[in-house]
Chain A
Amino acid sequence: MCFALLPAARANESSAFDAGKFVMEHVSDAHEWHLFTVGDVHVSIPLPVILYSKTGGFHVFLSSRFEHGHAVWQNFRIAQEGSPHAGKIVELDASGTELAALPWDFSITKTVAGLIFSAIIIILLFTWLARRMQQIAGHAPSGLLNMLEPVILFVRDDVAKSSIGEHYERFMPFLLSVFFFILINNLFGLIPIAPFGANVTGNIGVTLVLALFTFFVTSFSGNRHYWKEIFNPDVPVWMKFPLFPLMQLIEIMSMFIKPIVLMVRLFANMLAGHMVITVFLSLIFMFSALLGPVASYGVSVLSVIFSVFITLLDVLVSFIQAYVFTLLSALYIGMATSGEH
């Protein structure tokens, strides 16, 4: 990743403040990592764009080539508002009109960059912790290890052991990874300065993959009893074999609804947190536009207080969501691996 700062060309957008756009820009994914805007100059970290189109093959270049969406590079550009694919990268034909077929876009977007950054931090942190653990073997822990050990023990004893039972050890690496991945991404998302602040866990693609992992772990570790309960539930026969297998349908639906609920809960909570903070901050600019600068000074005090409050609330929510996701995953795994009742 290249972190060179590119002061870009002057933006052409109208100077009127659009709160909706402001909020959306802050929570949406982007091909560049916007740092700040001075006047009309946007400063952002360019991120790699990786495209594959049937006509042009592979293309890899930095997003700074698009000049914040104003320029065309190698027949690609970011679709402007009004286009059916607004915000996405589209391919242009020789005459300059957008092709209907979108190129495959595997770009390192802001979310992916934040994801990679926090993954590196998590890997470094916990492998370092593991080394510390081996160094102090037989002695009392200290420092960071002392701080994180109770959390690991909490996940092991109060989440995994109590939900899964005797076979909990097999699932510990997955549950711990999920817990700390969500927790650290949630907390990083609250720090507004790059390389933090990417809305990773508030991105539905990310939570979808997390939920998918839980789904696969649950399904692959499900025992005979678990599958029997789905395809031949323990209910009166008339509920299983009337005109159509009602109970089986419900059971199979619940199999998929569980991870979907996991996905939506985490995504919605984190997205909402980010949105509320940006909404409170955008109040300053709305009042400034509506009633002049004096009103905005007054409102800014309130806005900042509320934003701080919501941020602190989000710290709490970060922990709760990491806990809830891990706990529910553990419960689903526990349901799939428990014996006859």
Chain B
Amino acid sequence: MGFVTPDYGTIFWMCVVFGITVWILKRFAWKPILNGLKAREQQIARALASAESAREEMKRLAAHNEAVLQEARAEKENILKEAITLKNKLLSDAKEQAAMESEHLLEMAKHKIEEEKNAAINDIRQQVAELSVEIAEKVLRRELSNPTAQQQLVDSIVKDMNIS
């Protein structure tokens, strides 16, 4: 049974060949292959993690955008509301002012009219007084001559005066 007794020549060569093979493979094959595999696994893990974080980031951004939009909408509403109140205030202010102005003008006009009227009345009074004096003068001049004529004269003067 030759083949169950190990042959030292085969053992020797096997040691040499297998030893060299393991050494070369370890150095030039397994190290790069295992490193490559590990690097790829890490790369995949990293890619997955970064995809996950990107998704998170997207979600966060979307939420942020929504918030910003909401804020902008609220601000717009606010501005609009403010503008409306401002408009209303301006309008009412203007109205008030106009009313006051017109009242003031009216007052002034009334005042003026009153003044004019008073002036006119005073004037009339003065004229009446002057006329009265004049008439009295004329009457006094003529009274002594004829009483009837005197009467007629007064009447005619009064008629002439035509006081409005």
Contacts and interface: CB of A to CB of B under 8 A. Distances in A.
A203 B31 CA distance: 30
A209 B8 CA distance: 10
A42 B25 CA distance: 38
B36 A116 contact: no
Nearest to A169: B34
Nearest to B4: A204
B29 A130 contact: yes
A204 B29 contact: no
B92 to A, nearest CB: 74
A177 B25 contact: yes
Contacts of B14: 112, 115, 205-206, 208-210
Contact of A130 (B2, B4, B33): B33
Contacts of B10: 29, 109, 111-112, 203, 205-206
A119 B37 contact: no
A130 B39 contact: no
Contact of B33 (A106, A126, A208, A213): A126
Nearest to B7: A205
A271 B30 CA distance: 30
Contacts of B3: 24, 27-29, 203-204, 271
B2 A28 contact: yes
A8 interface: no
Nearest to A149: B37
Interface in A158-182: 169, 172-174, 176-177, 181
Contacts of B25: 122-123, 126-127, 173, 176-177
B22 A173 contact: yes
Interface in A105-120: 105-109, 111-112, 115-116, 119
Nearest to A125: B29
A123 B36 CA distance: 18
A129 B18 contact: no
A293 to B, nearest CB: 32
Interface string B1-43: 0111111111111110110111011101111111011011001
A137 interface: yes
A27 B4 CA distance: 11
B4 to A, nearest CB: 6
Contact of B18 (A127, A204, A210): A210
A20 to B, nearest CB: 12
Interface in A203-232: 203-206, 208-210, 213
Contacts of A134: 32, 36
A89 to B, nearest CB: 10
A204 B8 CA distance: 11
Given A106-B12, A130-B32, A133-B33, A29 B21 contact: no
Contact of B13 (A112, A137, A210): A112
Contact of A106 (B5, B9, B26): B9
25 contacts: A24-B3, A29-B10, A106-B13, A112-B10, A112-B17, A115-B14, A115-B17, A115-B18, A116-B17, A123-B24, A126-B28, A127-B28, A130-B28, A131-B32, A133-B36, A137-B39, A138-B40, A152-B34, A153-B37, A172-B30, A172-B34, A173-B22, A173-B25, A174-B26, A205-B10
Interface of A: 24, 27-29, 87, 105-109, 111-112, 115-116, 119, 122-123, 126-127, 129-131, 133-134, 137-138, 149, 152-153, 156, 169, 172-174, 176-177, 181, 203-206, 208-210, 213, 271
3 shortest A-B CB distances, which residue pairs? Answer: A205-B10, A126-B29, A173-B26
